[in-house]
Structure 1
């Protein structure tokens, strides 16, 4: 069988069901790897070893009793430290909440754990998930295991490097502007931003613009689909939700279906002022286009379906989010410089300007969806370059934010439209760094998107590409 972390999440679940591997053995294996490697890659902020081992023992009892087992029974996972688990520290990546312990579990986390997964702890995130890097003062910096002098991106950097480093087979992330897809690209794993309303944000998170969604970080498309089968569905108080699948349908089954001949739009030139696409990323985009065309799909060049003004309104909405942080006034000075700067930008907006940003963002989403209506999917890069050096963003918050926009230049528009989008680890640079490509589906179109992504994976397999840490 080889080392246990070589197995995908679904393979681990099958091995547990067949009694070839015990949940306790699997959890112990991963906890030992976390102990050895976490300081190096910065995946976890909090490790819940005792609770995970207790859950593993209970899971093993169900196996031995011959009980009916859920899809991911006994499979270790990890939860981004923006989500709550009752009784577990939730820092939100902020020193202000260093000692905060959640009183309730988020509904989607409940679904994931009810689906059999065992949480090993909370993964690193930047303060309140705002940046596309993962640095804070509550845990180690999240780095890509392909080159630990470089960042794992963000804000789901901890989850992405946990999967890429073989510390879990699958992990939860969230994405409000690229926070699943950018880390997936930097770390060489699959990252799925789900459709708006596909997975509940309840009961605590309220997002008036509808930007933030959950999504998995995984090594395979099938594992990402299994995560979706376990977690999808509305919560008890959601204001909107994606339409459910047919009664007999699953996202996992969609991976086994041929997608048919699709009409796929593509573009590569970023619209963010000052952003430039690295030649090796452009080459990967061209090669992915050629692969899709060889598979029978019709590829059409289009200009980016939005302009620089779309980023302006998005930034307005993004800074508004920083004005509502649950931080007392006397502790504002303890926030990270970037968080304080974003908050200041948001507070400068009048009520009218804030509403105009929300309306303009919604209108942009509608225009983009109208433009893309003729197409079954869209192909574009995830980021303009490979993973950035740890000190690349600098100390000036304004310049830092501009660099973030120029790096993760393609992702946020699909949070605005609410479409599902995936980062696939299709290529590597000449220096061996991962390069992800983004496929975007129709609204609420995860089934078709997963089918297409599975086809790409079958013809351009990436699972056996592993960073050096994998064998240590």
Structure 2
């Protein structure tokens, strides 16, 4: 049994823990062994904390209520989050040697849910790019092809899950940063509705873009982790920011396990970037979309083609907010030279913005949020490609020309950022493999607060396609 624990779903592992057939320490030791064996190839973890993980596992077994939603399950903190006494590099030379003396709220919530951190999963510099290749660590690679990147910014989290170094992992998503790497690594990634996860709600971020959510191999495991992430704030039940219907305190795991319902689905290949960038959908991305459409049609769902109305305000407004978000990076004077070229350009551009330009961009994105929700309102969910291209080769992005770099990111993943702007939930599902074994996925966009429908649809598709049984070459 011990040699096969990583083959089990997170939910199956949780059940073993509940029955006492496996202890938190045994599970931690198993995954630490996996990390030691596989991380040198994949680069998913930038920091591993074995002693702290063993101590935490013993503490969970001794004093954390077994009813805690993530009791005894291992995970990794994204390296954009602070955990007390653990290095927090934020993917940057700027913060080399930084060890925080307090933990972020999302970290405390995961602890309160009974989970056990094994260390830090890799992220690009300050989480800005859609790929995880930095100057401070080896690139994070998809375990399906080590010449290709895992995506970003939650690239380390997705690669760790896909290679069996973790049963699941939390991430954050400000423009696709959960869904992009999940698609590139052949796993499930869920961006919740704005406000769904109290300690990673998005309400405190510029434009309300950045929310926390789960990455997992199965839809059920994603729901399990989501329930754990939103269940508590520092050990107390807190639904101040929850978007669920009043009086509805049910968890999402039942919806994912049951996978019930028939829905009206839109199918869309347009994006918010189409006016400003040349977007070409790779045949493998189209094949993945077709496979999902055929499967949903066979399951009895209504299918209807749809398209977005072009909006010339979106691209300049989003780019302005992207720059403005970098302006607060704590680099001054000579310290700016420690930043990567893309990040430095963003910082300098962001600091040059005026108040009128920033407020105008925020107003434009608020108007776009309303427009997008209205355009999609006749559907229970809308299906798009997850990525427009196959996972990108390591070194594919232009490291020096920031504007070209941004264009490359848009062309790779045009379908994600508009959901951060609108606050809508979205899930990526690994429905397809190319002829050379690369994962390709689709994205389902939900109604406001519509995670349950996305999980139910995902569970139906998972049962029909069976992606949870696939294993990458690095496993």
The TM-score normalised by the length of structure 2 is: 0.93
- 1:413 offset after TM fit, Å? 0.3
Q: Does 1:102 align with 2:88?
A: no
The 10-residue stretch of structure 1 (447-456 or 53-62) with the greater mean CA deviation from structure 2: 53-62
- 1:122 offset after TM fit, Å? 0.7
Answer yes or no: is the 8 Å Cα contact 2:75–2:166 preserved in 1.
Answer: yes
With over 3 angstroms needed to count, the CA separation of the structure-2 counterparts of 1:305 and 1:295, relative to structure 1, is: farther
| 1:8-407 paired onto structure 2 within 5 Å | 8-61=9-62, 68-201=66-199, 206-232=204-230, 241-243=242-244, 246-247=247-248, 249-270=250-271, 271=274, 273-307=277-311, 309-395=313-399, 396-407=401-412
CA–CA separation in structure 1 for the residues paired with 2:201 and 2:319: 26
Query: Any idea what the Cα deviations from partners look like across 1:178-231, whole Å, max 9, x if unmatched?
Result: 000000000000000011011134699931310000011101111111111111
Secondary structure class of the residue paired with 2:257: coil
The 10-residue stretch of structure 1 (49-58 or 259-268) with the greater mean CA deviation from structure 2: 259-268
CA–CA separation in structure 2 for the residues paired with 1:447 and 1:346: 37
Answer yes or no: is the 8 Å Cα contact 2:11–2:221 preserved in 1.
Answer: yes
CA–CA separation in structure 2 for the residues paired with 1:293 and 1:377: 14
CA–CA separation in structure 1 for the residues paired with 2:211 and 2:94: 24
With over 3 angstroms needed to count, the CA separation of the structure-2 counterparts of 1:409 and 1:60, relative to structure 1, is: same
Answer yes or no: is the 8 Å Cα contact 2:261–2:456 preserved in 1.
Answer: no
Count of residue pairs brought into register by the alignment: 467
Answer yes or no: is the 8 Å Cα contact 2:24–2:57 preserved in 1.
Answer: yes
CA–CA separation in structure 2 for the residues paired with 1:448 and 1:241: 17
CA–CA separation in structure 1 for the residues paired with 2:462 and 2:201: 35
Q: Does 1:408 align with 2:408?
A: no
The 10-residue stretch of structure 1 (233-242 or 87-96) with the greater mean CA deviation from structure 2: 233-242
With over 3 angstroms needed to count, the CA separation of the structure-2 counterparts of 1:387 and 1:102, relative to structure 1, is: same
Answer yes or no: is the 8 Å Cα contact 1:130–1:155 preserved in 2.
Answer: yes
CA–CA separation in structure 1 for the residues paired with 2:348 and 2:260: 47
With over 3 angstroms needed to count, the CA separation of the structure-2 counterparts of 1:354 and 1:217, relative to structure 1, is: same
The 10-residue stretch of structure 1 (205-214 or 77-86) with the greater mean CA deviation from structure 2: 205-214
The TM-score normalised by the length of structure 1 is: 0.94
Secondary structure class of the residue paired with 2:360: helix
CA–CA separation in structure 1 for the residues paired with 2:246 and 2:146: 41
- 1:344 offset after TM fit, Å? 2.5
Answer yes or no: is the 8 Å Cα contact 2:45–2:121 preserved in 1.
Answer: yes
Query: Any idea what the Cα deviations from partners look like across 1:345-401, whole Å, max 9, x if unmatched?
Result: 323432211111111011111101111111110100111111100011122222111
| 1:417-436 paired onto structure 2 within 5 Å | 417-436=422-441
Answer yes or no: is the 8 Å Cα contact 1:85–1:105 preserved in 2.
Answer: yes
Answer yes or no: is the 8 Å Cα contact 1:202–1:235 preserved in 2.
Answer: no
- 1:326 offset after TM fit, Å? 2.4
CA–CA separation in structure 2 for the residues paired with 1:418 and 1:305: 18
Secondary structure class of the residue paired with 1:173: strand
Structure 1 unaligned blocks of 5 or more: none
CA–CA separation in structure 2 for the residues paired with 1:291 and 1:342: 42
Secondary structure class of the residue paired with 1:285: helix
Secondary structure class of the residue paired with 2:132: coil
- 1:4 alignment counterpart: 5
CA–CA separation in structure 2 for the residues paired with 1:234 and 1:326: 31
